[in-house]
Structure 1
Amino acid sequence: MTDDAERTPSAGRRRPNIVLIALDTQRADHLGCYGYGRDTSPNIDAIASEGVVFERCIAPNIPTHPSFTTLFSGKEAITHDIVNIGGGVPVADGVRLLPEILRDNGYATAAVDNMGRHFTRGYERYEQYRWDRSDPTVLRKAETVTNLALPVLDDLVAGERPFFCFLHYWDPHTPYLPPPGYEDLYTDSGRDPYDPDNHSMDEAWSWEPFKWYFHDWMPGVTDAQHVIDLYDGEIRYMDDDLARVFAALERVREDTIVVITADHGEVLNEQLGYFDHHGLYEGNVHIPLIISWPGTLPAGRRIPGLVQNLDVAQTLLDAVGIPQREHMEGLSLFPVLSGVRDGNYDTVYLSEATWEVKRGLRTDRWKFIRAIEPDPHGRPMVELYDLHADPGEQDNIAESEPAVVKELSDRLDAWLGRRLTETGKTRDPVAEQGACASAIGQPRPDEVVGAGATPLRDRVGSGGGAANIPDPSELNAGR
């Protein structure tokens, strides 16, 4: 690690470029650089090997819109007010986002993204995309983003100003419909995804709010492992396409900070809520964070302590030598990088309010989750997991550990009270805004759902089609 004088650009030296790559719905533990056994991410792993991997980065506010707002503002959701998807509440007055700050300090700013809303702020160039749906069995999500990104990067690299570029990939978000060559890349040839004697998808098919959406893009699948294989195929497809982006940056690589992260992960088949990202479990809140800046940040460094995506904006401003005057709540990662401490936090406070309305906290050992509204899957209002003994969060020990529950509940209450006082609020916005999603997918009452349904490729000729990535307005169906 170089010292501060080397890190901060000197007078007359152009500030470094920043490329922030977001992999929507990417679990940290399904990347090779986070120890995954499958070769899903060789190109991402190569970037990680020449940079810093934060082993335990947490997204405190999920899902997509609150998490990205936290990432870009450096402020927690109680401050910025975005606590769910499509909830209709604007970002709080006075909250400025990283691209705005960088633009106002001389950066050329561009994004390839499709979220719209306040996420367009600060960009001089904002390229939006739509998926090619000409083949209803495939969504070429990564290619769509990269094909727009390459000319944007060419223009930025050729420009005279340092640049900030945000690239938002939607792999491996549902629907998992990777192109040929990837859809069966990890599938065991001996397994039948439609085996009627395999009941590992029964709970997924029985949950009313999601079953018709699943029926759109994986009708008849009975093997949960097959769906995980598709998720991993999406990652490898995206990773192969990212190689084109990394190649385009080679000309300016030593002058460019590359950040790779996610908004949240995905519950696969380890929790109720199969193949989606509601729930404050590790599969959802533990996200990748990789920062690479050759010649400045140490290659191959791994940071073991707890950090948050809340810290990224402050860290990047520190890296390029721009004092922030926005009262960001995240902590710079440079003290961690310099060895002053192993992580930024002993406790991370969590929230979600789209399908489920909950708060929680995570320490090194404990995960405590407290529901504000009844869980749509019927889970208890209070959950406690010992992450040392039960890293998969399978054994809720809240009833057997009342003293721990009380201690963590009191700690959550104290934090929440302090944050409300700091922001001048009288009510928790998570409770105030509540759930904004109730169902997704269009019912087809004349069709079989689950085992025995016609597979997608066989449905195409008879008018069946693949689902698109849900728009926030669709999540309000039936509410």
Structure 2
Amino acid sequence: MRDKSSFSGWNRNINYRRRNQQIVHYMSTPNIVWITLDSLRSDHTTIGGYERDTTPEMADIADSGHGFDTCIAHGKSTLPSTGAILTGYAPTHTNIGIEGNAVPDGITTVAERFRDAGYRTACLSRNSYVSSATNLDRGFDRFQWLASSTIHRAGAKTLASYLWNIRSHSAGLTTDTAKHASPLLMNGVAKRWLGDFESESEPFFFYLHYNEPHRPYYPPGKYLDTFTDDLEMSGREAAKRALEIHYSLDEIVANGCDLTDEEWAALRAMYDAEIAYTDEMVGRLVSHLRSLDLGDTVVVVTGDHGELFGEWGLLSHSYVLNDAVTRVPLVINGLDESLTVDDSDIIQHSDVMRTLLEVAGVDGSDTIGVDLREEGREFAVSQRGPNTYEELLTHNPDFDYSAFHTGTLNALRTEEWRYQESGEGAELFDLADQETDVREAYPEVAESLQSDLTDWVEANGQPVSEGQQEEFSGTVQRQLRDLGYME
């Protein structure tokens, strides 16, 4: 009989061979780092052709990869849009952000697919809608939602760095949590996690959701005056006014967004400053990632949805599905694959996720995305759930919401047109003028796009459930109030 030492050596050899086999397998599948920036409108970015160089880091990431300025979000806000990213399904299919607020039990998430394929999975989120409250944490081996009540989990070193830099990287010493910026905290935690990944052999899928540049557009100290040269007020005064507008948003919208030219300019300057700061921090994180011995790593940077600045007489990202709200930038770096689409083509988040799943050896054919290595798409579809407009009518009983639809709204966008419909009616918009219904002038176009949309909803948008509802904790509700989603 063999003694214990010989059995020990035999087991070590078996384990060694198994590890080598795993390494050979994993070397063929890249790591994936997906970074989502909240409320990032495409035409306010460098790759979107904006007059201000707000996203030079994103542009640099795109230079050696792919940069798309027409990625069409699946929804108008974080919950339906990110729900589609992290499930691969249409918002009306899962009902996330439509008539429900959580992933139904019968839905397999993207994180679960990667995990089942041997990936380590991790998610770092600063937004309450990407948390256990909505079941979007499902499938992640490692998950952290950063909020005022969980900030201690960022780690002592990261917290010390944040406090030391709180005047340049945030709003200074203030108890108003709506003023504080969090990318420095996000980066500190993310770097620590990436360091952990470096010491392991399996590939990883790491999803990060930054809360900036979401309202209230209060940039950190060192960025306050970045875009104020043409303003008659200082950056701090502009940020203060942006915060006041944030807290009075419903009243302002209900009364027609009657802001002065200087107030509009201040809002845009503060929004752009938030974008520029977050872009810098994303650049720092990607640079750190590239310095590590992680192996092949695909990096995706995008926005979950856009932002309104007066279109349709609205602010923020509620009610409508036009380009201001649904058109976001997207860059891909490190994907060593030829794509069939050009940088000017329409894509959707689900296409990129489907492609990454297939690259990882995961069948994503049941999702609504296309594999961009094999095909593109002729149109994109965005969806919005029912709206009551009660909050606006409280401030102005005469507010006219007839153009915004109250029922579930589906919008189909091509390179030239947007066709949208709900149970109350339909409109056709030329993308050169997204507020004038031209169905009567182009009836054949409207009829063709209506047919395409009907077929798509029938194939992809049927609800799997009536909508799963979860009760949000007080901590989640507090952050949603900071973001303007709750009174």
> Does the TM-score normalized on the shorter chain lie above 0.5?
yes
Residue number in structure 2 paired with 1:440: none
User: What is the match of residue 178 of structure 1?
Assistant: 219
Distance in 2, matches of 1:308 and 1:325, equals 15
Measure, in 2, the Cα distance between the counterparts of 1:345 and 1:406. 19
Q: Distance in 2 between matches of 1:112 and 1:382?
A: 39
1:313 correspondence with 2:353 = yes
Alignment correspondent of 1:243: 283
The residue aligned with 1:445 is none
What do residues 312-366 of structure 1 show as CA deviations (whole Å, max 9, x unaligned)?
221111222x232672221111125xxxxxxx22122221126564222112211
Tell me the equivalent position of 1:453. none
Could you say what secondary structure the match of 1:235 adopts? helix
Q: Structure 2: which amino acid aligns with 1:92? A: P
- Within 2, Cα distance between the matches of 1:47 and 1:22? 14
What is the aligned counterpart of 2:481 among 439, 449, 470? 470
Of 419, 429, 452, which residue of structure 2 is paired with 1:385?
Answer: 429
Correspondence for 2:472:
none
Deviation at 1:254, TM superposition (A): 5.6
Q: Are 2:437 and 1:396 equivalent residues in the alignment? A: yes
SS at match of 1:68: helix
Letter in 2 for 1:22: T
C-alpha displacement of 1:193: 8.3
Structure 1's consecutive aligned runs of 4 or more residues displaced over 6 angstroms after TM superposition are: 204-208, 422-425
Question: Per-residue deviation at 1:147?
Answer: 2.3
CA 67–190 in structure 1, closer or farther in 2 if over 3 Å, else same: closer
CA RMSD, Structure 1 to Structure 2 (Å):
3.6
Q: Cα distance, 1:253 vs. partner?
A: 6.6
Number of the residue aligned with 2:373: 334
Bigger proportion of residues as helix: 2
Aligned to 2:204: 163
**C-alpha distance in structure 2 between counterparts of 1:193 and 1:359, whole Å:** 42
Q: Which has the larger radius of gyration?
A: 2
The amino acid of 2:377's aligned partner reads Y
Q: What per-residue deviation string (whole Å, max 9, x for no partner) do you get for residues 106-154 of structure 1?
A: 2121111142121111111112212588424832122232222221121
CA distance in 1, matches of 2:317, 2:479: 14
Does 2:52 match 1:38?
Answer: yes
Alignment of 1:219-368 (within 5 A): 223-250=263-290, 251-252=292-293, 255-293=296-334, 296-297=336-337, 302-320=342-360, 322-324=361-363, 327-336=366-375, 344-353=376-385, 355=387, 357-368=408-419
**How far 1:211 moved relative to its partner?**
3.7
Give the conservation status (yes or no) of the 8 Å contact 2:26–2:203: no
Paired amino acid for 1:97: T
Name the CA distance, whole Å, in 1 between partners of 2:137 and 2:299.
20
Deviations 1:57-83 (A, max 9, x none): 211333211111211222222322214
Q: Quote how far apart the aligned CAs of 1:369 are.
A: 2.4
For residues 234 and 153 of structure 1, what CA distance do their matches in structure 2 show?
25
Q: What is the CA-CA distance between 1:247 and the residue it aligns to?
A: 2.2
For residues 360-386 of structure 1, give each alpha carbon's deviation from its aligned partner in whole angstroms, at most 9, with x where no partner exists.
21122111223446xxxxxxx543221
Aligned length: 395
Matches within 5 A, 1:180-199: 180-192=221-233
Q: Which runs of 5+ in 2 are unaligned?
A: 1-22, 149-169, 236-241, 388-405, 469-477
| Structure 1 residues 175 and 73, CA gap change in structure 2 (3 angstroms) | same
Unaligned runs of 5+ in 1: 1-8, 195-200, 337-343, 374-380, 434-466
User: Residues of 2 paired with 1:235 and 1:190: CA distance?
Assistant: 18
Deviation per residue, 1:10-50 (Å, 9 max, x gap) = 74735311101001111122221222221111111111111
Q: Percent identity?
A: 28
